[in-house]
Structure 1
Amino acid sequence: MTENSPFLSSHQQALALATLNERSREIFRQIVESYLTTGEPLGSRNLARILPMALSPASIRNVMSDLEHSGLIFAPHTSAGRLPTEQGLRFFVDAMMELGDVGQEEKTRIEAQMRAAASRHTFDSALAEASSLLSGISRGAGVVLTTKANVQLKHIEFVRLDPARALVVLVSVDGSVENRLVDLPPGLPAGALQEASNYLNARLQGRTLDTLRLDIEAGRQAMKREIDALTERLVDAGLATSVGPSEARQLIVRGQANLLDDLRAVEDLERIRLLFNDLETQKDVIELLSRAEGGDGVRIFIGSENKLFSLSGSSLIAAPFRDGDQKIVGVVGVIGPTRLNYARIVPMVDYTARVVSGLLERQR
């Protein structure tokens, strides 16, 4: 579910699963599921009590030794039980995990709360609600990444502030307003601002900045015949400032405090401190979430599979959402410890992404 994973490939996972006999798979499964539930190592004596097959602690230790040699589990202390490695978690998630389902009651609640937020306020409010919902469901941090260039626009206006600068006022279909500063080309005629506004507004028709920019680029020759070169530069400046790489992304994070609820040791506190630093470094979070836009379905990033979480030992579960033209325009997800309840959260993230897509579809 990740790209460029430093761990087992799909072929390697299939081979590894084939080499595990029934008791090895069951012991490995119990160790992983115990970790995901409690965060604690599981030892051979406790395993002997819960396994569905009769095995002595000595036999279990032999199997655990083989699993440890394969890189799937490790012993955090000399005399302790075993925990899954990041490679073991990846193997479990990709090859052994049985996904749960989103219950009808939960589906209804997610849809109702997000629709209410969208109808009362703006689509951004619905995205914030999605982040809060995922935070509450997962007991992690809910995150949403979207691009302001994909908001459907109702009106664009240029307002001159001084000879060298103008304010671009962007009014979206949902009523939200955004202001951006642009530099004006030297020698711009007095009427060029109004001319540029008229030109863009005549072509908006509820389009996003991305589609508007693409249409204008495709009709570049026609535009040159319609407006003079200075106004063309102004139009370009107005579009570019709204979709430039430094400000094109919007990150919403809710529920960071949830990550403090289950601290078990001093090292956990340090891990959370590092994760908070990661979340504050929005550029890196945005880069990671942008990777989740690269394909359909839910993406899972575990621990050091991504440099952002290499120190904090955290995981990200994320799914893209689409606009009415079926173009991927953002990502919803959950950030938390590596022992997230993947089987429950993966379908929740997937369903929330589909609800967001549905809201965008109805905005067309």
Structure 2
Amino acid sequence: MSIDRPILPEAAAGLAQLDARSREIFRRIVDSYLSTGEPLGSRNISRLLSVSLSPASVRNVMADLETLGLIYAPHTSAGRLPTELGLRFFVDAMLEIGDLNVEDRHAIERQVRALSASRSVEDVLTDASALLSGLSRGAGVVVATKQDPAIKHIEFVPLEPTRALVVLVGEDGGVENRIVQLPKGLPPSALVEASNFLNARMRGRTLGEARAAVEEAVGAAKGELDAITADVVAAGLADWAGVSAGEPRQLIVRGQANLLEDLKALEDLDRVRLLLDDLESKKDVIDLLGRAETADGVRIFIGSENKLFSLSGSSMIAAPFRDGDQKIVGVLGVIGPTRLNYARIVPMVDYTAKVVGSLLRQG
């Protein structure tokens, strides 16, 4: 497993100034924060240290760590919490990440494969997002290239005298619908004729391939199609024309409700509300996840170092996955508070990305 965690200049400078005692105290503060979200005081730290050190001596070390910008006091005379810079320093320079154990690996494989058996690619990705949410107690996110599957069937279903539903069924089992406007006085036979005409030319082709072929066929079949049926075919094609022209990637988010659990204070609720607002801004989330597509392995984003989470102070752990041609086709990950269990979630995200990529390659 590879992790893309280049050490920031500030972190490198801080690391050079920390001796073994300072590192242990800093690690204790971060571990406490990741476990409980609460500040840790000098008296408690002195009891936890592997070497005997008085609370006064611990406070001196904490003052040095605070000067470096790695920790801060949330309240007067309180214990200390890591700053966002401190968390980044910890993740880049001190976080110890092991592989998942055999049980966890098998659990992820079983759940993804069982949930995704005989399902479309979008279903596989939705299942993976839900799986990550359940395992991490955060929000599971996936961004992937929109699929353009081969077409299995197309049909016009009348709704009103001047409107019809166009149903497009893909070879992967996916179904998409569009409403089209119909000419007044259209006979029911025209919808049947339009469906037959399109099925004869679209079946087995992707939408992009089929559109060009059908447009050419309509021009060459003036005598074969009456004018009103040709209008119905053209209306259906025009309505489907924008399918591939918009945002080329889709975003799937599952488990937002998990973010409301384990709130410590009113400010936590405000933070989560801001995060939920961030997740509604799909373009920004897609752009942020897109930055992980060029990462060498797992990418970790922390708090205000990225624009999206600048107000909510959240973190995201993301990893890319590849198709059968080893081309990166998407990114999946977990979003949650900055006190995510990085050591546990990083290998979980990494392995889930590998399992999803394996399923896509088999498909």
Residues 329, 180 of structure 1: CA spacing in aligned structure 2 closer, same or farther, 3 A cutoff?
A: farther
- The residue that corresponds to 1:356 in the other structure is 356
2:254 is the counterpart of 1:254: yes
- The residue that corresponds to 2:59 in the other structure is 61
CA distance in 1, matches of 2:350, 2:258: 21
Q: Secondary structure at the match of 1:332?
A: strand
Work out whether residues 2 and 301 of structure 1, in 8 Å CA contact, stay in contact via their aligned partners in 2.
Answer: no
Residues 156, 166 of structure 1: CA spacing in aligned structure 2 closer, same or farther, 3 A cutoff?
A: farther
Q: Aligned partner of 1:109: which letter? A: A
1:26 to 20, 24, 27: 24
CA distance in 1, matches of 2:31, 2:341: 9
- The residue that corresponds to 1:150 in the other structure is 147
- Coordinate RMSD, CA, aligned: 3.7
Work out whether residues 70 and 85 of structure 2, in 8 Å CA contact, stay in contact via their aligned partners in 1.
Answer: yes
CA distance in 1, matches of 2:304, 2:362: 39
Residues 51, 292 of structure 1: CA spacing in aligned structure 2 closer, same or farther, 3 A cutoff?
A: same
- The residue that corresponds to 1:187 in the other structure is none
Work out whether residues 150 and 204 of structure 2, in 8 Å CA contact, stay in contact via their aligned partners in 1.
Answer: no
- The residue that corresponds to 2:92 in the other structure is 94
Work out whether residues 196 and 234 of structure 1, in 8 Å CA contact, stay in contact via their aligned partners in 2.
Answer: no
Moved more, 111-120 or 32-41: 111-120
- The residue that corresponds to 2:34 in the other structure is 36
CA distance in 2, matches of 1:159, 1:318: 41
2:267 is the counterpart of 1:281: no
Work out whether residues 324 and 362 of structure 1, in 8 Å CA contact, stay in contact via their aligned partners in 2.
Answer: yes
- The residue that corresponds to 1:241 in the other structure is 242
**TM-superposition CA deviations, 1:143-198 (whole Å, max 9, x none):** 12223x3354244759699xxx9987654332112245799xxxxxxx99988876
Q: Aligned partner of 2:37: which letter? A: G
- The residue that corresponds to 1:80 in the other structure is 78
Work out whether residues 156 and 168 of structure 1, in 8 Å CA contact, stay in contact via their aligned partners in 2.
Answer: no
Work out whether residues 182 and 237 of structure 1, in 8 Å CA contact, stay in contact via their aligned partners in 2.
Answer: no
Moved more, 67-76 or 303-312: 303-312
Structure 2: give runs of 5+ residues left out of the alignment. Answer: 182-192, 221-229
**TM-superposition CA deviations, 1:270-292 (whole Å, max 9, x none):** 11121122222323222222222
**TM-superposition CA deviations, 1:91-136 (whole Å, max 9, x none):** 1101110013212112112111211222254333322221221112
CA distance in 1, matches of 2:144, 2:111: 19
2:69 is the counterpart of 1:71: yes
CA distance in 2, matches of 1:120, 1:236: 29
Q: Normalised by the size of structure 2, how large is the TM-score? A: 0.79
**TM-superposition CA deviations, 1:59-95 (whole Å, max 9, x none):** 2111111111111111111201111000110111011
Residues 182, 60 of structure 1: CA spacing in aligned structure 2 closer, same or farther, 3 A cutoff?
A: farther
Q: Secondary structure at the match of 2:52?
A: coil
Residues 16, 199 of structure 1: CA spacing in aligned structure 2 closer, same or farther, 3 A cutoff?
A: farther
Moved more, 123-132 or 47-56: 123-132
- The residue that corresponds to 1:309 in the other structure is 309
CA distance in 2, matches of 1:202, 1:228: 21
Q: CA deviation at 1:200?
A: 6.2
Q: Aligned partner of 1:137: which letter? A: L
Residues 199, 98 of structure 1: CA spacing in aligned structure 2 closer, same or farther, 3 A cutoff?
A: same
Q: CA deviation at 1:225?
A: 10
Q: Secondary structure at the match of 1:241?
A: coil
Q: CA deviation at 1:302?
A: 0.8
2:227 is the counterpart of 1:264: no
2:103 is the counterpart of 1:105: yes
Structure of higher CA gyration radius: 2
CA distance in 1, matches of 2:172, 2:114: 14
Q: Aligned partner of 1:242: which letter? A: V
Q: Aligned partner of 1:127: which letter? A: L
CA distance in 2, matches of 1:175, 1:362: 17
CA distance in 2, matches of 1:261, 1:67: 31
> Quick one: percent identity of the two aligned structures?
61
- The residue that corresponds to 1:323 in the other structure is 323
Q: Secondary structure at the match of 1:97?
A: coil
Q: CA deviation at 1:238?
A: 8.1
CA distance in 2, matches of 1:318, 1:254: 15
CA distance in 2, matches of 1:111, 1:362: 14
Residues 340, 71 of structure 1: CA spacing in aligned structure 2 closer, same or farther, 3 A cutoff?
A: same
- The residue that corresponds to 1:134 in the other structure is 132
Work out whether residues 134 and 349 of structure 1, in 8 Å CA contact, stay in contact via their aligned partners in 2.
Answer: yes
Q: Secondary structure at the match of 2:176?
A: strand
Residues 289, 27 of structure 1: CA spacing in aligned structure 2 closer, same or farther, 3 A cutoff?
A: same
CA distance in 2, matches of 1:238, 1:104: 49
Q: CA deviation at 1:236?
A: 10
Residues 290, 156 of structure 1: CA spacing in aligned structure 2 closer, same or farther, 3 A cutoff?
A: farther
